[in-house]
Amino acid sequence: MSTTNSEEIHNEPIVNAVENENESATASAVAEELSVEEQLKQDLEKEKDKYLRLFAEFENYKRRTAKERIDLFKTANQEVLQSMLPVLDDFDRAMVEIVKSGDENLIKGVQLIQHKLKDTLVAKGLEEIEVKAGDVFNADIHEAITQIPAPSEDLKGKIVDLIEKGYQLGTKIIRFPKVVIGS
């Protein structure tokens, strides 16, 4: 029995060493699995982040191009409408002279044509900027042609006369009203 005990004692460290090796190999395999699993999770998170950023960037691109397209449609007629503004001015001047003639049929006919032209341009988005004598001068909206001595104290720094009408297309001013201001 004494030999058996001594063999058992000598074999125990070997068995313990083998068990420890197996446990550490299993532990390192588990740790390696966890690190591979963690690595895969990190890679997945990185790819999700890239995807979300790309998706957000694409959505912003779609919104921006849609807005640009709408703005383009709104102002696509700007050049044509600007070329029609002198015709509107000519109609206004013609109406002043025709009214002086007193021919009711002529006045009525020219007014019908003038209203039809104005209605068509308004339907395309053209709006007249309302300006009248006595309004406060605003450099963002009005274009001052000249200054004259104010006919009265209440017209100092205000609009005295309108030289040329102004127009806007949507919210964009395509021709500033030309005014005379009092000093």
pLDDT of 20: 58
Spatial contact of 84 and 123, defined as CB atoms under 8 Å apart:
no
Q: In the chain, which residue ranges form alpha helices assigned H by DSSP?
A: 2-75, 78-101, 104-123
Give 30 or 148, the one with higher predicted confidence. Answer: 148
* 15/2 Cα distance (integer angstroms): 20
Q: How much of the chain exceeds pLDDT 90, in percent?
A: 50
pLDDT higher than 90, residue 10: no
* 37-74 per-position pLDDT tens digit: 888 999 999 999 999 999 999 999 999 999 998 878 77
pLDDT higher than 90, residue 177: yes
Q: What's the predicted TM-score (pTM) here?
A: 0.59
Q: What is the mean pLDDT of the chain?
A: 84
pLDDT of 168: 93
Centroid of chain to Cα 92: 37
pLDDT of 72: 80
pLDDT of 133: 87
